[in-house]
Structure 1
């Protein structure tokens, strides 16, 4: 059902006329035109022709496949301060010292490896051992199909972090990548503090 528009009565029209006459416009209906001579003329844009061998983005650095903002594990371990004496450090880097105990975390999940690592390191410290070897493996490289990059070797990256956190951080003096004859990039030397 549609409504019909009703017109204004004579009283309403008279009242509207008085209201409209007393109102002031917000903007004047006819603004004075600016003087044509006072407005600056826009300067013509002269673009230089581009060389024929120019390509947009040719000077940009090439995009790399990996955008890893965290330094590599080797860089982080190399950047840590050396807390052991120089001679022991040199012997460790050359693979001259034999670890007194070792644990192999190959094939374990993070949930399985963490308690085993704590038990092993705390037991080695309690029995007076100074140098232990922790084998994590290098990790398997799988196809990374997602937009978020995945680290290769989850245990390899997690173990050094666990060794610096409580309760292990209190007994660990130095963490170093193992020499090739003891596992290379898939293992770590852990030098323990003296048991008190």
Structure 2
């Protein structure tokens, strides 16, 4: 265990240094705005607030509607059949090469069209993104954006649930999207 450090001793000023300091200090004048008043006056006392009688408030109600329920994952048997190739998706959309705004519009139109044609499960290929990603390890703008879009209110009447696709269909770069039947209530 180390001993605590000793405080450094200040050396005394030489006669030369004292004389120099005196000359410098004589040339300095205080700034006018930095001069403090001779005596500070205390602030005036605030007038007491009148007592308000406590009343019961009505219970708080939320103006927002409750959050929609989370999406249901695909049934295990359905996902297994899709990923093993025993069942195929009713339709597929490949978003490779799309910009975000183009991809959103294409996805929305594709899901509406597929639902209208009676599709139950569709494949949406987003791609995994560039190999390197950015400095923060983020890769695949559409890969991150499409699941968020599917959870938006625009897609709720169409989409029942979605899940990452099996390896033969693109794995992490694709989604199986389960669609509602046309006219089925949410």
Q: Residues of 2 paired with 1:90 and 1:154: CA distance?
A: 27
Shift of 1:155: 0.2
Match of 2:128 in 1: 138
Q: What are the within-5 Å matches in structure 2 for residues 132-171 of structure 1?
A: 132-142=122-132, 144-145=134-135, 149=136, 151-171=138-158
| Mapped pair 1:190 → 2:180 | no
Match of 2:99 in 1: 109
Q: What are the within-5 Å matches in structure 2 for residues 1-196 of structure 1?
A: 82=72, 84-92=74-82, 94-142=84-132, 144-145=134-135, 149=136, 151-196=138-183
Q: For the Cα contact (< 8 Å) 2:90–2:120, is it kept in 1?
A: yes
CA deviation vs aligned residue, 1:105-143 (integer Å, no higher than 9, x gap) = 001110110000000001101111101000111100336
- 5+ long unaligned stretches in structure 2: 1-69
Shift of 1:82: 3.6
Aligned pair count reads: 114
Local SS of the residue matching 1:170: coil
Local SS of the residue matching 2:182: coil
Q: For the Cα contact (< 8 Å) 2:115–2:180, is it kept in 1?
A: yes
- 5+ long unaligned stretches in structure 1: 1-79
Q: Residues of 2 paired with 1:144 and 1:167: CA distance?
A: 30
Residue 139 to residue 99, structure 1, CA distance change in 2 (3 Å): same
Q: Residues of 2 paired with 1:84 and 1:155: CA distance?
A: 21
